Structure 1
Amino acid sequence: MTDLPKTMKAMVLKGHGDLDAYEWHEDWPVPELSQHEVLIKVGACGLNNTDVNTRTGWYSKAVDQATTGGAYETVDDEDPTWGGRPITFPRIQGADVVGRVVAVGPDTDPSFIGKRVMVDGWLRDWSDPDNKDKTGYYGSECDGGYAEYTKADTRGIMVVNSDLSDAELATFQCSYTTAEGMLSRANVVAGDTVLIPGASGGVGGALIQLAKRRGARTIALASEAKHAEVAALGPDLILPRSPDNLRAALGDEKITVVADVVGGPLWPQLIDVLERGGRYTCSGAIAGPMVELDLRTFYLRDLTFTGSTVIPPHIFPDVVTYIERGELRPMLAATYPLRDLPKAQAAFIDKAHAGNIVVVP
């Protein structure tokens, strides 16, 4: 690292709160490397809901509101992160990193230098990689990519060969691995019909593409202003975001899977439209985490519910392979300079764009 700068520009989260909890620094220390680590010059870093929810403390059981992106009146100190544990501040967030390796740690293969890489959002115990209790998240349990440089374990990165730009590649990691994890948990196969609330978002758009890749039929729910952008992803049917009567809007469609990151007031209707033996899979609740369930619907219809957070280690490499084959389309909605991260996150929260927002150092 002798030829590299000692300090860097970084957007640093100083505590839970509103967007003013971020603090811009131009002299933050460049990360020091340990064994099996590489230093990455960040080309682009995508935004995701985990960053928003961790900043605000939304994951805390003390919060029962929809994701607002603002500070909450009460956040318990013991469970404000995705894993139900405290977070250490200051913290550099940002999980969706794409960049080039510029240095390697002790005893690390120097051939990584110069390679363009994507970082897996999941931090694993590499002696026990399938153990969900031993996982962390990039930009939560360690510093992430909202900076000029970041570091990562070589076992948690993938060299990527693609004509896509860094900003386009930075739209994939969180959204597409989350979506693939959901579809895997629900065992989606050809012949399924998958209902996708929030289809104009990053995960929603990824669900459309990845479910179609499996041969499933897809039905998207999205605000009508974004139907044209959602249509470009190829769903079989697009409906309004929150139909008054979802069953009537679906007509004769038989829904075998609901893949949901929205929750909120529409949730009971999502469950009601599932066919007998149907599967509901969830990886978010941006419209509200508190919902009502009639247990009779659940057991009399033989439904299966699966939560999906920590994904198996193979999913990230699988998604990178799909990217390299040109099987997936990036959903780059907008790019912002890293220093404008608060503005970028405000646009992300307001759902001002369909698709993903990326910051560039």
Structure 2
Amino acid sequence: MRPDTMHAVLLTGHGGMEKLDYRTDVPIPQPKPGELLIQVAAAGINNTDINTRIGWYSKAVNEGTDTGGATGFDSVDDDDASWSGTPLTFPRIQGADVCGYVVAVGDWVSDARIGERVLVRNMLRTYVDFRPYECWTIGSECDGGFAQFAVAPAIETHAVACNWTDAELASVPCAYSTAENMLHRANVGAERVLVTGASGGVGSAVVQLVKRRGAEVIALSSASKTAEVMALGADRVIDRNADLVAELGAGSMDVVIDLVAGDQWPSFLDVLRRGGRYATAGAIAGPLAQIDVRTLYLKDLTLFGCTFQEDEVFANLIGYIEAGEIRPVVARTYPLRDIALAQTDFLAKKHTGKLVLIPPQVTT
């Protein structure tokens, strides 16, 4: 028999690690019509979890994620400190990566789905009536996977057939969909591609997904992680602090896939060829960068900001998993109650791949 309450981490407001409240008495959510109840088996950690906690999305914040990742920021405007730009409601259960097993269904959903091992699409369109360029992020606009149970729309919850561990599957939703979406938007093919932040969760996903498309991958990472990034499929690894024009040559890259931004940003456009494309879905080194507009228009560059995902992006990922075309790297797993330690390790960036939380399992 399923209990009435569950273990979960409640985010109680924007700020430091002290805003993460591990509780054992949180009511288990009930699926509404069209929803599933999922017993969470594993939930990955992402930059967005930390960014949301510290209010980094607020335009009042100018620093990189690492600056306030542990303690938060003094100057956060709660009114725009979320993906959607609307205030979050607290408490909130975060966790954009939900891997688990369907244990109950709401009205209008077939009982045949009970028992499926599933991944939840992290960018939910159901709740905004599938309007273009709108979505809810699970764990931000609605509760997510840092708990023993979560609810999600049945239509956006995908059964997965593979021999991966739960922790490996939990590494996919946010990082790999973010990565695939950038490649989808920039229409990346068998080209020469520069990937920043290549050892992180999204960066390591980009390396694999770009190689899957037949591209030559030049990866930026710390020198200590060169071997690990090469093992992901990179053709060459360059130190993340290197002079890119000196290392690669001006106009030498077809595409730049960027997750870092910061002070190095102008050089990303310098190494693009005429007609090249730049795509970004992050700015962990700092959100403000200087652009010489002459570089943009005289080189006929195209810049893509990538958040919203077309429906096929997540569906394609499920296909890649089941075809054995990708495989995530899990650096370490942690009990859910150790979320502060896991986020501390995440911010230290000494790992390659994903860090994953494992909630206590419930026998029903």
Please state which band the TM-score falls in when normalised by the shorter chain: over 0.9
Aligned residues: 356
Aligned to 1:108: 109
Instruction: Give, in angstroms, the shift of residue 251 of structure 1.
Output: 5.0
Aligned to 2:132: 131
CA contact (8 A) 1:263 1:286 kept: yes
- Structure 1 counterpart of 2:81, one-letter code: P
CA pair 75-127 structure 1, distance change in 2 beyond 3 A: closer
Q: Does residue 225 of structure 2 align to residue 226 of structure 1?
A: yes
From 293, 296, 320, give the equivalent of 1:295.
293
CA pair 72-62 structure 1, distance change in 2 beyond 3 A: same
- Structure 1 counterpart of 2:143, one-letter code: D
Q: Deviations over 1:200-248 (max 9, x none)?
A: 01111111111111111110000011111111111111111110x2111
How many angstroms apart in 1 are the aligned matches of 2:196 and 2:124? 28
Aligned to 2:345: 347
CA contact (8 A) 2:249 2:271 kept: no
In the TM superposition, structure 1's runs of 4+ consecutive aligned residues that sit over 6 Å from their partners are none
Q: Deviations over 1:321-353 (max 9, x none)?
A: 101111001111110000001110111111121
- Structure 2 counterpart of 1:115, one-letter code: E
Instruction: Give, in angstroms, the shift of residue 250 of structure 1.
Output: 1.6
Aligned to 2:302: 304
For structure 1, the residue ranges without an aligned partner over 5 or more in a row are none
Secondary structure (helix, strand or coil) at the match of 1:96 reads coil
Aligned to 2:240: 241
Instruction: Give, in angstroms, the shift of residue 107 of structure 1.
Output: 2.9
Secondary structure (helix, strand or coil) at the match of 2:126 reads coil
Aligned to 1:281: 279
Instruction: Give, in angstroms, the shift of residue 252 of structure 1.
Output: 8.6
For structure 2, the residue ranges without an aligned partner over 5 or more in a row are 360-364
How many angstroms apart in 1 are the aligned matches of 2:139 and 2:350? 24
**Structure 2-normalised TM-score?**
0.95
Q: Over aligned residues, Cα RMSD in angstroms?
A: 1.3
From 265, 268, 273, give the equivalent of 2:263.
265
CA contact (8 A) 2:181 2:306 kept: yes
How many angstroms apart in 1 are the aligned matches of 2:94 and 2:121? 14
Instruction: Give, in angstroms, the shift of residue 22 of structure 1.
Output: 0.5
Aligned to 1:256: 254
Instruction: Give, in angstroms, the shift of residue 108 of structure 1.
Output: 1.5
Aligned to 2:96: 95
Map residues 1-361 of structure 1 onto 2, 5 A cutoff: 3-68=1-66, 69=69, 70-125=71-126, 128-129=129-130, 131-133=132-134, 135-190=135-190, 192-243=191-242, 245-251=243-249, 254-361=252-359
- Structure 1 counterpart of 2:197, one-letter code: G
How many angstroms apart in 2 are the aligned matches of 1:160 and 1:112? 12
Q: Deviations over 1:169-215 (max 9, x none)?
A: 1111111110111011111112x111001100111111111111111
How many angstroms apart in 2 are the aligned matches of 1:127 and 1:225? 44
How many angstroms apart in 1 are the aligned matches of 2:202 and 2:175? 4
How many angstroms apart in 1 are the aligned matches of 2:302 and 2:27? 48
- Structure 2 counterpart of 1:214, one-letter code: R
How many angstroms apart in 2 are the aligned matches of 1:107 and 1:128? 17
- Structure 2 counterpart of 1:235, one-letter code: A
Instruction: Give, in angstroms, the shift of residue 127 of structure 1.
Output: 8.1
